[in-house]
Amino acid sequence: MRLFSRSKRNDGSGTKEARARTLAHFREFTATRVGVEAFIEPPTAHDPHTMVLVARTGEWTRRRVPDVREARALAGALQIPINDVHLTGYPASMRRWSAANRRRA
């Protein structure tokens, strides 16, 4: 099922609620970190489009989005730059942060 689909999910959330939760999470992330950029990821066999926010430190968060248009709208609402992973790749800081945090676990 798509994240922002019109039908109700088992938890009772619909399009507006899911978008509001995603936007709230992304707003909190951007408000508490410096230099945040968005990266659109293509759909896979298991997931729809996703959008990753990456801070200058490399810390990141990911959420599902229904399509590229919605991802661009979310980035616009957050007033952050947006990139296509196919064109730019992931920032090196994200890979370093992930590697460092993987070792701690």
pLDDT block averages, 10 residues each, the chain of length 105: 47 68 95 97 89 97 93 94 96 95 73
Tell me how crowded residue 29 is: count the other CB atoms within 10 A of its CB. 19
Q: What pTM was estimated for this model as a whole?
A: 0.82
What is residue 53's three-state secondary structure?
Answer: strand
- Which strand ranges, in their side-by-side order, compose the sheet holding 37-41? 60-64, 50-54, 37-41, 82-84
**Whole-number pLDDT of residue 9:** 44
For residue 74, with 0-12 CB atoms within 10 Å meaning exposed, 13-18 middle and 19 or more buried, which class applies? buried
CA atoms of 52 and 49, how far apart (whole Å): 10
**Whole-number pLDDT of residue 10:** 43
Q: What is the largest CA-CA distance in the chain?
A: 40
- Which sequence spans correspond to the domains of the chain? 15-104
Residue 56 has which token pair?
A: 């200058």
